[in-house]
Structure 1
């Protein structure tokens, strides 16, 4: 590292460590608070009802955590990275799914035993009460969202459709809050528990509104992003150059991405995560996309001067997270975009090796730029072509070791199709590359 960049990187790492400790402490303290609140409320009418009450508290707490994940708080994003947060979002969603099944089941079983009637009769009986009905509707919507988010169903949906379905989350939140107002008992023990509970939810909802609405609106009003140029990179790939005011105040870094909308040329709910394909310079931003979904396929038709609405920057796939002096950048297909930006980043010091996996040389997007950048910084660029098969595994451990003999002493950045990324990460584990040196961006973003 150069003496100019080292202090900034070290300060970033220190702030990251502080942020991670604070986030873990926040989670632990809230889990403990729920247990204290449950104990203070005392048992319900029977054991089944008591279990249902505890599960309901955890369901509400996990929903609040999910809102904070969806809010994309900058501190959390910088500390863990959007790829890891998206994985947590998925696991949190599955936790909510099981709690949504378990909480009402135990509550209804408890009331059924108390009233001496069958489970189904109790469902009909309680559904006549509006607060309970709201909770049932919220539970049903959660089941729909989670069902459509599993991999089998997800593969059949376009990104835009999947993203639109996730707007049901906001309906669920509204119904869930109303259900808690009328049905919550454990957090109504005293003023302290009420202040804590509604303080937590106010923080979660406030973070969501600020992160997903207020801050993006303010930023886009300030920067006034516009399309400056549209450049065809290949038959199915296009780059969009975006300009605006005071872009240096976005504090974007090479390797990060934005959520892009193009008002007037796409529906307002159509949004896609596209990485910056060039290091930001304070004057312009560039995204490069392959025409797969509705939004990306229509980019080449954007007129010059079209308005651009962007949320971000997001992601921890940056040079600031390096731990070693040398680096390997591994890309597959259109996953080359953040890798190309990183190769241009002045903060990425030390020797660099680039491994670019494509079916054929004709599929290698931005190859000319990569070669020029590699020449300027004396990096090694390997173009890995051919069809993967039993006789050719480009990212097998022995192959990686042959291409980069000192790979265990380098940071490794990986971005590409999920099967390729999984294969690379598996090989890195088998080569015993320390996990702190491995940085992956899979774009598993969920709405």
Structure 2
């Protein structure tokens, strides 16, 4: 195993630290989302929505259809903004929290869209006295922009179908990610229909100002932060593969070098989306955490072969160009807090934890690391972690063995007893007084979080990064 830990006297270049997100950033973002719903309702009311709702018959159906359509469009555009990788929003929430909100917005907007289609079709059918199918066909074929809107609905259905948990389990991450990119096309194809036939979109100057501003913000967020910033950083830093090191069976570390990487605003605990320009499939992004703090103009990531494109990492050649997107993630240390630390790692989740162990805001604090692994001989970074224990206050407990099968627990089967809380307090008696960092598979992290909360650890001191999509 090749260690990359620092040695006494080694020159360390600390990257410029990204500004820590203030709590008010999250409050402003959340309040803005709520305000958008109020604006949409106000525009609907201003366009006689309440009066038409009480008129009965087809007018009521059409009014409800307009409202559900407006709310669906608003949520879809907020979805785009949520995942536009806007730095201050991303640092306020973290990618895993944003992904959960994105998922909720997505399913809610889909059902509102379905209600919009059904209610508008029913309203027009009742008004014209035609059958439901005939009215639907007439809407699609004779109303401006409706063919494009129909294509948009088809794309959105495909995105929603692949977001269902059962479908996600059958898809590779790359395939799921590719399908989800069509959501942008779906939002764009729906715009002409809204402009040409949506009185609530263009009927008043206020409506035009709101919807054009929201569309421009969503488009600008994608162009600037999802496309422009990654391209600029990749061209500026010119990252290439330096070498590939085998760490454990099925696990390799990729050492990378680049230009002015010490100026990259990244902290230990964060991750990038990586694209290796090594042949077909280069456009597929892979999320990997840094497994060591930035050292001068060097970065390191560590990858387990999970069969979803990650197997290619072992065959990367020195000099292979790399495109980056990020950094992302909110599981970072906070300088003002000097409390002792407890860390939890399982599987390849040790990568982010390994980097945090050398973060300047953590390295001087007492740290207890609970490392869940089936076999210590296959534990990634065991040698590096042992070296760290010799020069900083780090205590490591390996939780070895198979997991329990009768109930969920973060402990191995031979240690899992009646209570995870009792086990945690036995291993870390002062756990409620510590900052906690945890990274690993989501089913394993859930009992960890529950045990920490039950043991008295304040929720705001629990920092996590979930390996889920």
Q: TM-score range by the shorter chain?
A: over 0.9
Q: Aligned in 2, Cα 1:236/1:266: closer, same or farther, shift over 3 Å?
A: farther
Q: Do residues 61 (structure 1) and 85 (structure 2) align? A: no
What is the match of residue 243 of structure 2?
229
What is the match of residue 308 of structure 1?
322
Q: Distance in 2 between matches of 1:188 and 1:97?
A: 23
Task: Note the C-alpha offset of 1:266.
Answer: 4.5
Question: Which structure is higher in helix share?
Answer: 1
Task: Note the C-alpha offset of 1:347.
Answer: 1.1
| Regions of 4+ moved over 4 Å | 321-324
Q: Distance in 1 between matches of 2:336 and 2:93?
A: 13
What is the match of residue 16 of structure 1?
22
Q: Distance in 2 between matches of 1:38 and 1:250?
A: 46
What is the match of residue 201 of structure 1?
215
Q: With structure 1 as the length reference, what TM-score do the two structures score? A: 0.93
Matched residue count: 436
Q: How is 1:110-259 mapped onto 2 (pairs within 5 angstroms)?
A: 110-129=123-142, 130-259=144-273
Q: Aligned in 2, Cα 1:226/1:206: closer, same or farther, shift over 3 Å?
A: same
Q: 1:52–1:106: 8 Å Cα contact kept in structure 2? A: yes
What is the match of residue 376 of structure 1?
391
Q: Distance in 1 between matches of 2:40 and 2:28?
A: 18
What is the match of residue 70 of structure 1?
83
Q: Distance in 1 between matches of 2:415 and 2:109?
A: 39
What is the match of residue 374 of structure 2?
359
Q: 1:325–1:350: 8 Å Cα contact kept in structure 2? A: yes
Q: Distance in 2 between matches of 1:406 and 1:324?
A: 15
Q: Distance in 1 between matches of 2:394 and 2:98?
A: 31
Q: 2:272–2:327: 8 Å Cα contact kept in structure 1? A: yes
Task: Note the C-alpha offset of 1:12.
Answer: 5.2
Task: Note the C-alpha offset of 1:426.
Answer: 2.2
1:392 aligned to which of 394, 414, 434:
414
Task: Note the C-alpha offset of 1:281.
Answer: 2.5
Q: Distance in 1 between matches of 2:337 and 2:132?
A: 57
SS at match of 2:284: coil
Q: Distance in 2 between matches of 1:116 and 1:376?
A: 82
Q: 1:52–1:107: 8 Å Cα contact kept in structure 2? A: yes
Q: Distance in 2 between matches of 1:99 and 1:114?
A: 22
SS at match of 2:273: strand
Q: Do residues 95 (structure 1) and 101 (structure 2) align? A: no
Q: Aligned in 2, Cα 1:137/1:393: closer, same or farther, shift over 3 Å?
A: farther
Task: Note the C-alpha offset of 1:38.
Answer: 0.9
Q: With structure 2 as the length reference, what TM-score do the two structures score? A: 0.89
